[in-house]
């Protein structure tokens, strides 16, 4: 079984392709928490995790899922993770190991388009297409390793240090206080439906963020068709990124 989490489609894309190449099935961690997926049966001897790196560490929902006793007790004998990133996964794989309470056999970073519009300009369509092309070639090789139950880890002090310094900032930035919908909002409800954390509710035709913290996945801000969602200062001037707009991939991630 391949468990994935994805805000803007990169990790979903990678998980789907790996499932095809390894003859496995993939399931969205967010759908499990939302209760929209009940049971899916994939390969039981292999467990894969595919998700984005956040602040050199794990999305909170992945950490919560991986540390759940039921998941820990149903892991395959071979466990791997593919961590999508804009540049560097650092020691996010070690954070996953801590959550799972066991060693991972194979971990690898997969460079994909940048989506973090809150801090910087996301990848433009040309750069995004190029990165997806490179990722496609790398995914073919990753699948070969998985099919041979290969073992590979690339850990070092620099990666550990980066994660130790950066990851604490994730909790600070996960605040929803700085989100707002501007006057371009037409009340379509897309942000509510794409939020993997069930944080957004439409009230009086506008989104309201109902919890103090969220996954900080950027799905709402990147996928609003009106570009009406802003976070703090700076996002108004930036573009938006969602893989569907680049690759024509399926819009459904369950
Ligand atoms: C909150 C947040 C933090 C991020 N932190 C990092 C990071 O530390 N290193 C990095 O290379 N990319 C970082 N990124 C970029 C994403 O990991 C990358 O674009 C990923 O492929 C997005 O996957 P998704 O489309 O499945 O959500 C970050 C993105 C977000 C939204
Ligand atoms: S997706 Fe955008 S336009 Fe639609 S309700 Fe949310 S903020 Fe408004
Ligand atoms: S509120 Fe937006 S950024 Fe936060 S989890 Fe939901 S979709 Fe992601």
> Which residue among 180, 182, 189 is best mutated to probe the pocket of ligand 2, counting the most ligand atoms within 8 A of its Cβ?
189
CB of 176 closer than 8 Å to CB of 211: yes
| Residue 128 sits in the same domain as residue 28 | yes
> What residues make up the domain containing 97?
2-171
Ligand 1 pocket, residue 242 CB under 6 Å: no
- Domain count for the chain: 2
Rg of the chain, C-alpha, whole Å: 18
Task: Give the side-chain half-sphere CA count within 13 A for 165.
Answer: 7
Provide the CATH number for the domain around residue 15: 3.40.50
Instruction: State how far the Cα of 207 lies from the Cα of 192, in Å rounded to an integer.
Output: 7
- The answer to whether position 252 is within a domain reads no
What's the DSSP call for residue 184? Answer: T
Helix (H) or strand (E) holding 110: strand 106-111
What is the position in ligand 3's atom list of the atom closest to the CA of 216? Answer: 3
Residues 201 and 139 in one domain: no
Quick check: 61 and 30 in contact, CB under 8 A? Answer: yes
- Asked if residue 109 is part of any domain, the answer here is yes
Residue 197 located in a structural domain: yes
Same-domain pairing of 141 and 190: no
Ligand 2, CB cutoff 6 Å, lining residues? 181, 185-191, 202, 207, 224, 226, 228-229
Least distant ligand from the CA of 210:
3
The closest-lying atom of ligand 2 relative to the alpha carbon of residue 227 is 2
Are residues 137 and 65 part of one domain?
Answer: yes
Cβ neighbours of residue 9 closer than 8 Å, sequence gap 6 or more: 242, 243, 244, 249, 253
Q: With contact defined as beta carbons under 8 Å apart, do 201 and 250 qualify? A: no
Look at the pTM and tell me if it is higher than 0.95.
yes
User: pLDDT by residue (tens digit) across 186-238?
Assistant: 999 999 999 999 999 999 999 999 999 999 999 999 999 999 999 999 999 99
Q: Which residue has the tokens 């801000």?
A: 221
Residue-wise pLDDT tens digits, 108-153: 999 999 999 999 999 999 999 999 999 999 999 999 999 999 999 9
Q: Using an 8 Å Cβ cutoff, are 2 and 25 in contact? A: yes
Percent of the chain with pLDDT over 70: 96
Ligand nearest to the CA of 189: 2
Q: Which of 171, 205, 235 is the last residue of a domain?
A: 171
Q: For residue 33, is it within any domain? A: yes
């Amino acid at each position: 079984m391949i468990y994935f989490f994805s805000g803007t489609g990169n990790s979903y894309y990678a998980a789907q392709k790996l499932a095809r190449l390894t003859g496995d099935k993939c399931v969205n961690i967010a759908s499990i928490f939302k209760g929209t997926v009940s049971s899916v049966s994939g390969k039981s001897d292999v467990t894969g995790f595919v998700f984005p790196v956040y602040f050199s560490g794990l999305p909170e929902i992945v950490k919560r899922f991986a540390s759940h006793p039921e998941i820990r007790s149903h892991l395959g004998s071979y466990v791997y993770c593919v961590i999508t990133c804009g540049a560097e996964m650092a020691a996010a794989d070690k954070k996953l190991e801590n959550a799972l309470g066991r060693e991972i056999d194979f971990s690898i970073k997969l460079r994909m388009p940048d989506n973090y519009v809150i801090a910087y300009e996301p990848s433009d369509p040309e750069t995004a297409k190029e990165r997806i092309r490179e990722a496609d070639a790398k995914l073919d090789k990753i699948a070969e390793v998985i099919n041979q139950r290969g073992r590979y880890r690339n850990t070092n002090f620099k990666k550990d240090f980066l994660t130790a310094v950066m990851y604490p900032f994730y909790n600070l930035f996960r605040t929803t206080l700085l989100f707002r919908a501007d006057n371009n909002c037409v009340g379509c409800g897309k942000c509510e439906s794409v939020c993997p954390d069930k944080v957004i509710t439409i009230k009086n035709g506008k989104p309201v963020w109902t919890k103090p913290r969220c996954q900080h996945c950027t799905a709402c801000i990147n996928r609003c068709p009106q570009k009406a969602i802003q976070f703090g200062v700076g996002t108004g001037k930036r573009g938006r990124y969602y893989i569907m707009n680049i690759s024509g991939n399926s819009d459904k991630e369950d």
